Amino acid sequence: MKVSIKCLKGGCSLVDITGKMSILELKNLIEKDINIPASQQTLILFGKSLQDEKLVEDYPKIKDGTKLYVAVKKAESLNTVLNVFLRKYYNEEQSKIIVEEFMRNFHSKINSLSLDDLERIAKSEIQS
């Protein structure tokens, strides 16, 4: 069946899906079509969020021609990602101190780079 995907930030797509496909698999198809990472997508059907681990067939209202909406979640900041990771090994206060120190060092090193350095880094990342 084909469903229409409408992004709330603009852009749309028509995706061919099956009932046995998971919502996460659907998000991966959408990522290829409209270039929004699956991890930042929230699929919405009649005002309700679809859960990644469920199958398309778990939502009987999804039929051929159904329109799904994609809300884009803001990407997590580096601080947030580091803090979540560190909380696995340290308490909240220790994690906060480590993140603050890391960010201070990170910013000072980034600020010391020349535009040529940044361009070289960007080119090497684009080529890989």
Query: What's the Cα-to-Cα distance from 33 to each of 4, 22, 64, 81, 106, rounded to whole Å?
Result: 12, 17, 19, 27, 34
> Quick one: which H or E segment has residue 86?
helix 78-86
Q: Which amino acid is at 96?
A: K
**pLDDT (average), residues 67-93:** 92
Listed by start position, the domains of the chain span 2-72, 78-127
Q: What is the pTM of this model?
A: 0.61
How sure is the predictor about 49, in pLDDT bands with cuts at 50, 70 and 90? Answer: very high
- The C-alpha atoms of residue 52 and residue 38 are separated, in whole angstroms, by 10
CA 53 to chain centre: 16
Q: Which CATH number fits domain 2-72: 1.10.420.10, 1.10.760.10, 3.40.50.300, 3.10.20.90?
A: 3.10.20.90
What pLDDT is attached to residue 118? 87
**pLDDT (average), residues 17-34:** 94
